[in-house]
Amino acid sequence: MIQNQSKIMKSLLVIPTLNEIDGMKQVISKINHDWVDEILIVDGGSIDGTIEEAKKQNINVLMQTTKGSHGAAILDAFNSSDADYLLMFGADGNNEPEEIPKMLSKIKEGYDQVINSRFSKTSKNDDAGLIDGFGNRMFTIFANLVFGGNLPDTLSSSRAITRKAWDEIEMDELGLSNVYQISIRGMIKKQKIFSLAANEPARVGGERKMHRIPTGIQLSLRLLKELSWKGKT
């Protein structure tokens, strides 16, 4: 008798942290563990009790070893797993837990990436002011024009990507502009990308990691570097 040997597709939710104890208690505690196969905290060296709180919530913790910030944490996490669906989520309160099952459900429909857009027509944004909102739209417009996309939010860190699509884009940006690189390389590779309308609540405690001028410089440099990567593919 021929047995059904179809592969069971596994999902991994990655949450980078660095001193996000308030977000862990108020946001991450609301995540239903049944939504995904595994939840993984990647910690960059918290000293405020974030790691201890994660363990109280029965969430596995991976200590970040690659030097860098958000991109390094994501790289360490994805490299540590063989999951087929890779999801990113923030612990700072800027993302809503109900985004998680929505983006996993959508990517299972056959998309390469699913991005939670904080600047869609129905989105409510309580965190980005006029300057941050303008900057996001500006860099998103630049990316769409240069790389032929039509995404409403290229900088969202709440997203899902398949293992195949992840391997294809070869992410190597270890800083905060890693999500910009993921979006741009998805465009370059003509990946099937879906944007989900999402809200952006205000940060919950902790210290904001994104600072306007340094981040703006990083994003500008990343845009130029991706032109070079495009020429090699």
More confident position, 4 or 150: 150
Instruction: Tell me how many degrees the CA angle 110-198-178 measures, rounded to the nearest 5.
Output: 70
The alpha-carbon radius of gyration of the chain (Å, integer) is 17
Helix (H, G, I), strand (E, B), or coil: what is residue 94? coil
Sign of CA dihedral 137, 143, 149, 155: negative
Per-residue pLDDT for 199 more than 90?
no
Query: How do residues 97-115 score in pLDDT, each as one tens digit?
Result: 999 999 999 999 999 999 9
Confidence of residue 117 (pLDDT cuts 50, 70, 90): very high
Q: What is the DSSP string of 145-181?
A: HHHT---S-S--S-EEEEHHHHHHHT----STTHHHH
Report the C-alpha gap between 97 and 27 in whole angstroms.
Answer: 7
Per-residue pLDDT for 124 more than 70?
yes
Percent of the chain with pLDDT over 70: 94
Note the pLDDT of residue 120: 78
Which CATH homologous superfamily contains domain 11-232? Answer: Spore Coat Polysaccharide Biosynthesis Protein SpsA; Chain A (3.90.550.10)
